[in-house]
Amino acid sequence: QVQLMTSGGGSVPSGGSLRLSCSYSGNTARTYCWAWFRQFPGKERQGIAGIDPDGIKTYEDSVKGRFTVSRDNDNTMLYLEMNSLNPEDTAMYYCAAEGAPCYYDSIGPRYGYRYWGHGAQVTVSS
For residue 105, the one-letter residue type is D
For residue 26, the one-letter residue type is G
Residues contacting 45, CB < 8 A, separation 6+: 37, 38, 39, 94, 110
Model confidence pLDDT, tens digit, residues 27-77 = 765 688 999 999 999 999 999 999 998 999 999 999 999 999 999 877 789
For residue 106, the one-letter residue type is S
DSSP state of 65: T
pLDDT-based confidence at 20, cuts 50/70/90? very high
Region 85-101: what's the mean pLDDT?
A: 95
For residue 123, the one-letter residue type is T
Lowest mean pLDDT among 39-43, 102-106, 116-120, 122-126: 102-106
pLDDT given at position 105: 81
For residue 85, the one-letter residue type is L
